[in-house]
Amino acid sequence: MRDNFHDDLDRIGATLIDMTGLVASAMSMATDALLDADIALADSVISADAKIDGAYQDLEERSFELLARQQPVAGDLRTIVTSLRMVADLERMGDLALHIAKIARMRYPNSAVPDELRETIREMGQVAERIVVKTGDVVAGKDLTLASELETDDDVMDALHKKLFSVLLFQDWPYGVETAIDITLLGRYYERFADHAVSVARRIVFLVTGEMPRTAA
Amino acid sequence: MRDNFHDDLDRIGATLIDMTGLVASAMSMATDALLDADIALADSVISADAKIDGAYQDLEERSFELLARQQPVAGDLRTIVTSLRMVADLERMGDLALHIAKIARMRYPNSAVPDELRETIREMGQVAERIVVKTGDVVAGKDLTLASELETDDDVMDALHKKLFSVLLFQDWPYGVETAIDITLLGRYYERFADHAVSVARRIVFLVTGEMPRTAA
């Protein structure tokens, strides 16, 4: 039989997995809102962020309560402390999806993304979603092989990010400075989103192996 | 007489304060390197980042050791867990100063900042430095009045960030897309730097008052 403490610990793990789902959905909708200039979808992402923030605060409070009440040791303690850091990454990923939705909203009824960059942004959105779904699986299954796949996915994101800049810097960029700013920020948001997901996966590796994860620069 | 445990705890606090100093110095040098196209200074920032990363990893390891060995309770536990989160913010602030130095380096022998934006960037650098120095004082003195001042400083940073965009978007921006990208990213780095500093100060407020800090969006 499980005791209350381990039920609480399981609930923290379940909340983290739920949050990866919320964040994946936010990112998927934000990319669609951006490419289709869909303001209703953008607004959905913006209002759904409160749910992610709520999950974050709730998990934080429960973790502190658990730490104070139960004085967990060794592995349990490490799990709780690491969860507190993973949830901060996930909350930030929600913010980044929110920032993308806000750019979609700001440029409505136009799309912020010019035609020749649509495909690259679409791919960045797909990679971001794939990364966070895998991150959820890593959290759920403590699968180290899957965690190392995320490093490769992150390299794909970095390559797409570079590609974005190379189009921006191609001589005679015809879309003006405003669009260049939007694309620069969008590129940064997708790239940081992936970085945070990789950071969550690295913390799982740390929990399983006891080895400190590499620092994301 | 203090016991070993509380000496260890004091050392963690001292490391956090040291890190605010390292980060303040990195930011100050990065801004000078950027404005003066000073490649030697940019390189100093880049190589000094290893020291910040080292302090981060060291504090993380010592905290986990302390958690595992001493099973601290209540306030001490909260202090250690919160320190782990503050040190992550400080490490990230070091990375942002590093990113600024890298832009300085990339555009050498030119400055990445056109003349008409020098003053705004200089002010952003000054506000960033003031914020992190104050953050160090907040960590050292648990001064809640000073912590609330940081919210105002952060508003000043946001206003400067908006000013940057308004110049970029002024019609007939004459400096081309590459410079627009640089300025967009630089603005983002300074603004995020301030956000992370405010986040550190909010965690101190949380430690002192027990109230959860507001989430930085």
The pLDDT of residue A117 is 95
CA distance A72 to chain B (A): 8
10-residue mean pLDDT series, chain B (217 residues): 81 95 98 98 97 94 84 82 94 98 97 95 98 96 93 97 93 88 97 97 90 54
Interface confidence, given as ipTM, is: 0.90
Q: Identify whether A137 is part of a domain.
A: yes
pTM (predicted TM-score) = 0.93
Q: Identify whether A49 is part of a domain.
A: yes
Q: Identify whether A85 is part of a domain.
A: yes
Q: Check pLDDT > 80 for residue A89.
A: yes
**B-contacting residues in A 66-95 (Cβ below 8 Å):** 67-68, 71, 73-74, 77-78, 81, 84-85, 88, 91, 95
The pLDDT of residue A12 is 94
User: Do B26 and B44 form a contact (C-beta atoms < 8 A)?
Assistant: no
The pLDDT of residue A205 is 93
Q: Check pLDDT > 60 for residue A107.
A: yes
Residue partners of A18: CB distance under 8 A and separation at least 6: A55
For chain B, what percentages of helix, strand and coil (3-state, to nearest 5) are there?
85, 0, 15
Residue A212's pLDDT band (cuts 50, 70, 90)? low
The pLDDT of residue B78 is 85
Q: What average pLDDT does the structure give for chain A?
A: 92
Interface mutation vs chain A, best among B87, B117, B184, most A CBs within 10 Å? B184
Report the residue of chain B nearest A217, measured CA to CA. B95
The pLDDT of residue B216 is 44
A144-169 and A176-209 helices, crossing angle to 10°: 160
CA distance A6 to chain B (A): 18
Residues from chain B that touch A62, judged by Cβ atoms under 8 A, are none
Q: Identify whether B184 is part of a domain.
A: yes
CA distance A129 to chain B (A): 21
The pLDDT of residue A217 is 41
Q: Identify whether A214 is part of a domain.
A: no
The pLDDT of residue A213 is 53
Residue partners of A55: CB distance under 8 A and separation at least 6: A15, A18, A19, A22, A87
Half-sphere exposure of residue B183: CA atoms within 13 angstroms, side-chain side:
31
Residues from chain B that touch A57, judged by Cβ atoms under 8 A, are 212, 215
Q: Do A85 and B85 touch (CB under 8 A)?
A: yes
Closest CA to A197 of A145, A142, A139, A123: A139
The pLDDT of residue B217 is 40
Run of H or E including B106: helix B74-107
Q: Identify whether B68 is part of a domain.
A: yes
Q: Do A85 and B84 touch (CB under 8 A)?
A: yes
pLDDT tens digits, residue range A130-158?
999 999 999 999 999 999 999 999 999 99
Q: Check pLDDT > 70 for residue A187.
A: yes
Closest CA to A133 of A49, A21, A12: A21
Nearest to A71 among B71, B165, B178 (CB): B71
Q: Identify whether B214 is part of a domain.
A: no
pLDDT tens digits, residue range B92-126?
999 999 999 999 999 999 999 999 999 999 999 99
Instruction: Give me the number of domains chain A comprises.
Output: 1
Q: Do A98 and B212 touch (CB under 8 A)?
A: no
Determine the average pLDDT of the residues in A182-197: 97
The rounded distance, in Å, linking the Cα atoms of A113 and A100 is: 11
Q: Identify whether A202 is part of a domain.
A: yes
Q: Do A180 and B185 touch (CB under 8 A)?
A: no
Q: What average pLDDT does the structure give for chain B?
A: 92
Among the ranges given (A35-49, A52-66, A183-197, B11-25), the one the predictor scored with the smallest mean pLDDT: A52-66
The pLDDT of residue B76 is 87
Q: Check pLDDT > 70 for residue A90.
A: yes
User: Do A95 and B217 form a contact (C-beta atoms < 8 A)?
Assistant: yes
Residue B35's domain comprises: 4-209
The pLDDT of residue B168 is 92
User: Do B24 and B136 form a contact (C-beta atoms < 8 A)?
Assistant: yes
The CATH number of whichever domain residue B178 belongs to comes to: 1.20.58.220
